[in-house]
């Protein structure tokens, strides 16, 4: 029967204030859904789908079977789709802008170049893909100049139309980070994808932070071992980052522990504005530090505790939207895997199936490319369910959290 989630209310620092106002978390979230009614249909449908699935399965953990049948399905589908498009490497590659400097953009003189570089815009593709307004605000250049620069950068990067066969080949080359569990990798279509945002959501102690730690270690592995041969950036909003766990996990993989720790760049975010600011600043180091993974654990905590009361819902969602756009843009521009963790909110009206759903409403639902719901099972076993993924079936996988990290059951 409906077990009410306690994670949300026990974690929210604003609970007492909300109680004073006589508003519960659930009422707030309900109001949020209503206030975004048009958009909300999809999210409701997703939530319903999740419940139906849970009902169908009678809440049993039949993950092994399910994931192996999915594996078969994936392989078959994969085989069928393993078509050589006959394209040359040069057809697939994005325009190489690495040799360009911002000074090469028509209209950029030394003083504008300095402003751009100082504010972290040294990558032409980043300039080309950002709204000119953001470029203007963050670098302090004029509105017209920002517009001209963005357009010129788009021309250099040839950001226009592409045919699907080229996208098909490009997607085949996207890097993935393995999780440590084969069944979880299968669920993800190989691992956590570079260039995309993956959201892990679930109640407390379901393994969100542990997976995040494991990925910080695994991203450092060479590509032939399931990594991206890069560093990780960990934005910790809850104070739950533990370098000791990174050390344990690295040791279990036979890695040099000191190097493994040096390759995780840590930032503690103290409030939502700070969290957004860290993302802005990160631009300055993503390329120079060869960062291939960004973790934000959790994306929503500060937003939930700072914005309370019905009147705050719209500004909260707006700011969250800005933040998610930052993350999506960084992931796509620098081909970085972005992993965000999210809390759940309880649905008190649900009596069958799982009475929880992801917090953050539609903004998060639309912003993440992959959404994975985590839940507890027996002892150290956890179950991951793919909720929303373009091109991947909805399926489940079981994994364990052990001293060594994330492992198969």
Q: Indicate which single residue of 87, 402, 408, 409 sits in contact with ligand GTP (rule: CB under 6 A).
A: 402
Q: Which stretch, 19-27, 39-47, 86-94, 398-406, contacts ligand GTP (CB under 6 A)?
A: 398-406
Among residues 208 and 357, whose Cβ is nearest to Mg ion? 208
Min dist CB 242 to ligand GTP, Å, is 8
124 vs 215, which CB is nearer to ligand GTP?
A: 215
Of 16-24, 258-266, 306-314, 399-407, which part binds ligand GTP (CB under 6 A)? 399-407
For residue 310, give the 3-state DSSP assignment.
Answer: helix
Among 150, 209, 220, 356, binds Mg ion (CB under 5 A): 209
User: Cβ closer to ligand GTP: 35 or 240?
Assistant: 240
Q: Which of the choices Mg ion, ligand GTP, none does residue 204 contact, using the CB cut-off of 5 to 8 A by kind?
A: ligand GTP
Distance in Å, CB of 351 to ligand GTP, minimum: 24
CB nearer to ligand GTP: pick between 132 and 180 = 180
Contact 333, 346 (CB under 8 A): no
- As measured in angstroms, the least distance from the Cβ of 236 to Mg ion is 9
401 binds, among Mg ion, ligand GTP, none (CB under 5 to 8 A by kind): ligand GTP
Structural tokens at position 243: 């370098």
Smallest distance, ligand GTP to C-beta of residue 134, A: 31
The DSSP annotation for 33-69 comes to HHHTHHHHHHHHHHHHHHHHHHHHTTT---HHHHHHH
Q: Which is nearer to Mg ion, 241 or 308 (CB)?
A: 241
Q: Specify the stretch interacting with Mg ion by CB under 5 A; choose among 86-94, 239-247, 304-312, 379-387.
A: 239-247
Looking at beta carbons, which pairs linking 142-149 to residues 24 or more positions away fall under 8 Å? 145/107, 145/112, 148/107, 149/105, 149/107, 149/108, 149/112, 149/116
> Rounded to 5 degrees, what angle do the CA atoms 330, 323, 158 make?
35
Out of Mg ion, ligand GTP, none, what residue 175 binds, judged by CB under 5 to 8 A for its kind, is none
CB of 92 to ligand GTP, least distance (A): 37
Q: HEC string of 156-203?
A: HHCCCCCCHHHHHHHHHCCCEECCCCHHHHHHCCCCEECCCEEEEEEC
Judged by CB under 6 A, which of 120, 175, 180, 202 binds ligand GTP?
202
Residues contacting ligand GTP: total by CB under 6 A: 14
Question: Which residue, among 275, 280, 250, 252, has the nearest Cα to 264 in the 3D structure?
Answer: 250
What is the Cα–Cα distance from 143 to 59, expressed in whole angstroms?
55
How far is the CA of 48 from the CAs of 44, 61, 231, 364, in angstroms? 6, 19, 38, 17
CA distances 148 to 108, 136, 153, 155, Å, are 9, 11, 9, 11
Q: Considering the complex, what minimum distance in angstroms separates the CB of residue 77 from ligand GTP? A: 31
- Residues 222-261 touching ligand GTP, rule: CB under 6 A, are 240
Out of 210, 218, 220, 272, name the contact with ligand GTP by CB under 6 A: 210
If phi > 0 it is left, if psi is from -120 to 50 it is alpha, else beta; for residue 207 that is left
The stretch near ligand GTP (CB under 6 A) out of 56-64, 105-113, 385-393, 400-408 is 400-408
Task: Pick what 3 binds: ligand GTP, Mg ion, none; C-beta below 5 to 8 Å, kind-dependent.
Answer: none
**Beta bridge mates, 407:** 400
Residues 87, 166: contact at Cβ < 8 Å? yes
Residues forming contacts to ligand GTP in the complex (CB under 6 A) are 7, 202, 204-210, 240, 380, 401-403
């Amino acid at each position: 029967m409906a077990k009410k989630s306690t994670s949300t209310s026990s974690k929210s620092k604003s609970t007492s204030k909300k109680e004073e106002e006589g508003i519960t978390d659930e009422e707030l979230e309900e109001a949020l859904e209503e206030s975004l009614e048009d958009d909300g249909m999809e999210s409701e449908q997703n939530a319903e789908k999740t419940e139906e699935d849970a009902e169908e399965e009678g809440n049993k953990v039949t993950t092994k079977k399910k994931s192996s049948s999915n594996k078969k399905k994936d392989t078959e589908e994969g085989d069928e789709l393993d078509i050589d498009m006959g394209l040359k490497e040069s057809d697939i590659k994005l325009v190489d802008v690495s040799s360009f400097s911002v000074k090469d953009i028509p209209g950029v003189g030394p003083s504008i170049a300095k402003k751009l570089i100082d504010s972290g815009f040294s990558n032409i593709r980043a300039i080309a893909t950002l709204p000119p307004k953001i470029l203007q605000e963050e670098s302090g250049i004029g509105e017209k100049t920002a517009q001209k620069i963005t357009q010129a950068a788009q021309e250099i990067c040839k950001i226009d139309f592409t045919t699907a066969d080229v996208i098909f080949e490009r997607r085949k080359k996207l890097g993935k980070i393995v999780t440590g569990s084969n069944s979880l990798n299968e669920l993800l279509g190989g691992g956590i994808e570079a260039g995309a945002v993956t959201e892990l959501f679930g109640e407390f102690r379901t393994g969100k932070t542990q997976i995040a730690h494991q990925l910080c270690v695994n991203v450092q592995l060479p590509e032939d071992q399931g990594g991206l041969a890069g560093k990780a950036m960990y934005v910790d909003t809850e104070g739950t980052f533990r370098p000791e766990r990174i050390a344990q996990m690295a040791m279990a993989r036979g890695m040099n522990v000191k190097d493994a720790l040096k390759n995780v760049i840590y930032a503690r975010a103290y409030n939502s504005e700070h969290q957004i600011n860290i993302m802005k600043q990160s631009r300055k180091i993503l390329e120079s530090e060869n960062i291939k993974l960004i973790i934000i654990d959790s994306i929503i905590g500060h937003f939930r505790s700072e914005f309370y009361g019905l009147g705050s819902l719209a500004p909260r969602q707006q700011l969250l939207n800005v933040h998610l756009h930052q993350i999506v843009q960084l992931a796509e521009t620098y081909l970085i895997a972005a992993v965000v963790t999210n809390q759940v909110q309880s649905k008190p009206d649900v009596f069958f199936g799982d009475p929880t759903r992801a917090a953050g409403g539609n903004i998060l639902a639309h912003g993440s490319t992959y959404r994975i719901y985590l839940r507890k099972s027996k002892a150290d076993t956890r179950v991951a369910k793919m909720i929303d993924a373009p091109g991947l079936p909805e399926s489940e996988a079981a994994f364990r959290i052990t001293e060594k990290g994330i492992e198969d059951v």
